[in-house]
Amino acid sequence: MSRSRIFAASALALLLLAAGCVPARAGTRCRSTDWGDDGTYVLRCERGKWVRKATKVQVAQLVIAIIRSRTTTTSAPTTTTSPPPAPVYAIASGYQHSCSIRSGAVWCVGRNNYGQLGNGTTTDTTAWVSTGMTGAVSVDAGSLHSCAVKADGTAWCWGIGGLGMLGDGGTTNSSSPVQVIGLTTARQITTGGNGSCATTSTGDVYCWGYAASGDGGVGVGPIDRTSISNVARVSAGSNHTCAVKTDTTVWCWGANGTSQLGDGTTTSGSYPVQVTVSPGVPFTGAVDVAAGGFDDGITPAVDGTSCAVKADGTVWCWGSDLNGLLGNGSGSTSIQPRAAQVAGVTGAAHVAIGFYQVCVVRAAGGGTCWGLNYVGQLGNGTSTASTSPVEVTGLVGATTISSGQANSCVLLATNAAKCWGGGDYGRLGTGTITGAPTPANVIGMP
């Protein structure tokens, strides 16, 4: 087929697509490979569910570009037009609040006593409120503060600032986002109880607040963790921080009173140490990591627990077994000084640690949790604690997970979100303060 006929056929197909879509809604069931239209987005029926593919504006722009390209003379230089960036979506659970990214805009809900919702007030709300931020690509909710990274590489934080956790050079609270000083290439951000860290496009890690040193020091601005590089992902806990490097090894630093650094000791330190599975044998194959521990956002906790997911879908944990966070079925308050596999978990993709529970999302879209369960934070419809993994009831299509004090939230493949556990202050984003012992639909986000 000639080039001109290919262009003509492509243009005609796209015009039919834009004009002939059937009314549909993302996430609902469908039985064909037809295209749909929810009024704003063009949807495709994939695996029995409608999935958003592009906005109608983007489709129209592509049709125009194809038509124009057909009329371009052969003497004109060849140009390549990049498609518009895909909308970014995410959800993160904090102590008693949650934050989300919807098409790059940052919204928060729940408790707001220190301005951690970022809407310029200190008023709690069960309705999602806008921080005014746009262009966000990463967000996290700590105990009493929140942070986000924008596509331009800048980082912004809001909420309590007493230990320098906002990274703006001071220790003053802010109910609106303030820019983290000196960061222009940030990529992923993580908030602990009293500090925050960010990875950069070059694989470096910068931390501020209590996480700046992790062993009791306070940094009011980002400090380059020059002793670690080539970092793919970082997670800040209450009193320690862990990172996965591009070579799939895991390194941790900070407090280590309960062996949360995973090096077989209880020696704390501000320099990263490598997580091991036995003396002299490093833990490798990691694709995700979580550092956790009880934290009220005021005083760093003593206990700490860490977990990681390997590329083979297994989950490994180390540190304190307080509240059964190691998932080893013992139910004790012992410590695990090195990484040990959690029995009964396979196919894992992401892991998150709350104050009282650990939860995992599997690559297939389901979920598993263990720990305390007094407000349904295990998501299995009961209030019975479990020191071994239990299945989250009815969870399908989950892609990422975040755990807060006694609740967890997941983002679905449809870009919708579900949360479960304690609902006080409206932190589940379901529009009420009522808890949910199984995953409930997040509502009210644009």
Residue 73 CB contacts under 8 Å (≥ 6 apart), including other chains: none
Angstrom distance (rounded) from CA 116 to CA 177 = 9
* pLDDT band of 146, cuts 50, 70, 90: very high
* pLDDT band of 46, cuts 50, 70, 90: low
Q: Give the pLDDT of residue 220.
A: 65
Taking the alpha carbons at both ends of the chain, their separation in whole angstroms is 44
* pLDDT band of 104, cuts 50, 70, 90: very high
pLDDT average, residue stretch 288-296: 82
pLDDT above 50 for 1: no
Write the DSSP string, 240-284: EEEEEETTS-EEEEE--TTSTT-SSS---EEEEEE-EEETTEE--
Angstrom distance (rounded) from CA 210 to CA 301 = 12
Angstrom distance (rounded) from CA 277 to CA 202 = 28
Residue 120 CB contacts under 8 Å (≥ 6 apart), including other chains: 175, 176
Q: Give the pLDDT of residue 20.
A: 55
DSSP state of 287: E
Percentage of the chain exceeding pLDDT 70: 78
Angstrom distance (rounded) from CA 136 to CA 152 = 9
Between 25 and 296, residue with greater pLDDT: 25
- State the greatest distance between any 2 C-alpha atoms of the chain, in Å, as a whole number: 76
* pLDDT band of 10, cuts 50, 70, 90: very low
Angstrom distance (rounded) from CA 408 to CA 355 = 11
pTM value is 0.79
Structure tokens at 303: 């206990």
Provide the residue count of the chain.
446
Q: Give the pLDDT of residue 54.
A: 60
Angstrom distance (rounded) from CA 330 to CA 388 = 8
Q: Give the pLDDT of residue 445.
A: 80
Percentage of the chain exceeding pLDDT 90: 66
* pLDDT band of 269, cuts 50, 70, 90: confident
pLDDT average, residue stretch 144-158: 97
Between 27 and 17, residue with greater pLDDT: 27
pLDDT above 90 for 191: yes
Q: What is the 3-state secondary structure (H, E, C) of 35-60?
A: EEECCCEEEEEECCEEEEEEEHHHHH
Q: What is the mean pLDDT of the chain?
A: 85
Q: Give the pLDDT of residue 15.
A: 40
Residue in the block written with tokens 């931390």: 207
Angstrom distance (rounded) from CA 132 to CA 235 = 25
Between 307 and 16, residue with greater pLDDT: 307
Between 55 and 77, residue with greater pLDDT: 55
pLDDT above 50 for 82: no
* pLDDT band of 158, cuts 50, 70, 90: very high
Q: Give the pLDDT of residue 282.
A: 98
Contact 129, 173 (CB under 8 A): no
* pLDDT band of 151, cuts 50, 70, 90: very high
Angstrom distance (rounded) from CA 212 to CA 223 = 6
Please tell me the least confidently modeled range out of 160-164, 200-204, 296-300: 296-300
pLDDT above 60 for 216: no
Q: How many CB atoms lie within 10 A of CB 81?
A: 10
Side-chain half-sphere of 254: how many Cα atoms within 13 Å? 38
Contact 444, 113 (CB under 8 A): no
Question: Among candidates 136, 126, 26, which has minimal Cα distance to 91?
Answer: 136
Q: Give the pLDDT of residue 279.
A: 96
294-332 per-position pLDDT tens digit: 665 555 567 899 999 999 999 999 999 988 999 998 877
Q: Give the pLDDT of residue 38.
A: 65
The strand order across the sheet containing 35-37 reads: 22-23, 35-37, 41-46, 49-55
Q: Give the pLDDT of residue 23.
A: 75
Q: CA torsion, points 316, 320, 326, 332, in degrees to nearest 10?
A: 150
Angstrom distance (rounded) from CA 12 to CA 158 = 49
Q: Give the pLDDT of residue 31.
A: 66
DSSP state of 425: G
pLDDT above 90 for 407: yes
Domains of the chain: 3-70 (2.30.130), 89-441 (2.130.10.30)
Q: Give the pLDDT of residue 334.
A: 87
Report CA-CA distances (Å) from 430 to 7, 292, 421, 442: 47, 25, 11, 5
392-401 per-position pLDDT tens digit: 999 999 999 9
Please tell me the least confidently modeled range out of 2-11, 171-180, 211-220, 355-364: 2-11
The amino acid present at 222, given as its one-letter code, is: P
Please tell me the least confidently modeled range out of 254-268, 295-309, 338-352: 295-309
pLDDT above 80 for 41: no
> Radius of gyration over alpha carbons of the chain, in Å?
23
pLDDT above 70 for 347: yes
